[in-house]
Structure 1
Amino acid sequence: MNQTAVQRLYLMQVGVMPEYRIPIVCALMQTQDGRNILIDTGLPEVIPEEASEFENGQDAVEQLALIGLSPDDIDVVVSTHYDIDHAGQHAAFTRAQYVVQRAHHLDAASNPRYAAIRPQWDQPAERLQLVDGDTELLPGLTLVETSGHVPGHQSVLVRLPRTGTVLLTIDAVPFASGFTRDPQDGAGTPDAEAIRASTIKLLDLAERERAALVIFGHDEAQWNGLKLLPEYYD
């Protein structure tokens, strides 16, 4: 197995979209040298009126406390994108470096889609690490550019010592039913072609890496069967 810096992967469900039974999720990776890397931060503590379809649960800060971590213990926040259910508590992690695709961060600056939580994701330049395309962040931890859901969306590939390769598709493929090479109905989807390209990219990657586990961003049936914090994958 390829060498990896990541020793543990914790999964957290931090909220829900009740009408559609869609889980809102985050993840935490811990490295061999003691670093804590958070993938997304979930919903804001106070949900804006325009996002009333979401409902908070036990948030990331509360769940991290269950394993003895505070926000100051988080070294890196991998921001997959700035939607309200993924970047809603970025500002809580005041010591973290934020890693985001450059294309996404630049688009967000003038995109009203992300305006409601701009104080969360609009961090000082010295705390941002802007990446361009697929990027190996650490040995065994790769960020995968998967535009389509939004420009500059990124998924995450991590190699664990025992479990093997885990692919977190995030919102590039939110449901298992969409992880297919079969044509999908893209009617009404502005970036259907890009979504399709990113889906094929992730399918190819999962096959090439012989992924032991592919975790979809909002699939209730799958998340009901996964190990959730304080349990972990190693």
Structure 2
Amino acid sequence: MKMHALSGGRLKMRKSVYLPAAEKTETIELPVTCYLIRHEQGNILFDTGCHPSVAKNAEDRWGSMAKVMVPINSPQDNLITQLDSVGLKPDDIDVVINSHFHSDHCGCNEFFKRATIFCHLFELEAAQAEDGLQKGYIPKDWKHANEIKTITGQYDLLGNGKVVLLPLPGHTPGMIGAMVNLDKDGSFLLASDAVPMQANLDLELNPKNTWNPDLSLASMVEVRRIQSGGAKILFGHDDAQWQSMRKGPAFYE
């Protein structure tokens, strides 16, 4: 089994969203991280990043959210071109795991027409609710014709302990992470926005865009427990970590 780290775009936001002590005018650049897991049972994506169109006109797709979450990547920097760099096309993907349904994590879902979507039941319910759009769930990013399978607790995706989905609520109602257990490089927790940056974990800091602060802190406790067991935590938007990682055709195994 191999795991590739793939870019799903790049954003600029106010730093204080993630680190409240920062000056309100200070901005921070954030990678949008996606992961491809190649296993004999199939090709799996964890998150699909931003839709390619937002690099040219984010407001057309995201509306007012584009003023808060500003894409700064080139039009070629998206998950579809990243997959091409490792020799895969969208129809080669069997499963898409969405950590949650915010647009920088499910924006390319529409391209994976053969894939089954896995998400948490509470996340699907939040996106489907009458106020879903007001809470940041944009239908054109998450709502497609794919088969959707929901989880409510820990879920062994392949039935062999290699990819295990874990509820980590707080950022959103149905936030999930994935434990990926590799033979040579060890175990990784794909934490997504349950812990967007290392500083959030180290300082136990909830970002301002947290849905439920108490649940978020409880999820961080769980992430720390997993970390203490030897797993490496892969944060959702930590640029320093992202720059240090093997990316694209390079892989972990």
Deviations 1:161-181 (A, max 9, x none): 10011111110001111223x
Conserved in 2, the CA contact under 8 Å of 1:43 and 1:56? no
Among 14, 25, 28, which residue is 2:33 paired with?
25
Secondary structure of the 1:68 match is: coil
Conserved in 1, the CA contact under 8 Å of 2:5 and 2:34? yes
Among 167, 170, 174, which residue is 2:196 paired with?
174
Distance 1:186 1:90 in 2: 25
Structure 1's unaligned 5+ residue stretches are: 1-6
Aligned to 1:135: 155
Q: Structure 1 residue 76: deviation in Å? A: 0.2
Q: How many residues align?
A: 222
Q: TM-score, normalised on structure 1?
A: 0.88
For the pair 1:206 / 2:223, whether they are aligned, the reply is: no
Aligned to 2:18: none
Conserved in 2, the CA contact under 8 Å of 1:17 and 1:54? yes
Secondary structure of the 1:224 match is: helix
Conserved in 2, the CA contact under 8 Å of 1:14 and 1:56? no
Secondary structure of the 2:181 match is: strand
Distance 1:17 1:198 in 2: 25
Aligned to 2:116: 97
For the pair 1:42 / 2:63, whether they are aligned, the reply is: no
Secondary structure of the 1:36 match is: strand
Conserved in 2, the CA contact under 8 Å of 1:24 and 1:42? yes
Aligned to 1:229: 248
Identify the range of structure 1 (140-149 vs 106-115) with the bigger mean alpha-carbon deviation. Answer: 106-115
Aligned to 1:121: 142
Aligned to 1:216: 235
Structure 2's unaligned 5+ residue stretches are: 13-26
Aligned to 1:153: 175
Distance 1:175 1:183 in 2: 11
**Runs in 1 of length 4+ with deviation above 4 angstroms?**
185-190
Deviations 1:68-92 (A, max 9, x none): 1100000000011111111111010
Conserved in 1, the CA contact under 8 Å of 2:2 and 2:39? yes
Identify the range of structure 1 (220-229 vs 45-54) with the bigger mean alpha-carbon deviation. Answer: 45-54
Conserved in 2, the CA contact under 8 Å of 1:41 and 1:89? yes
Cα-Cα RMSD: 1.9
Distance 2:2 2:226 in 1: 21
Q: TM-score, normalised on structure 2?
A: 0.82
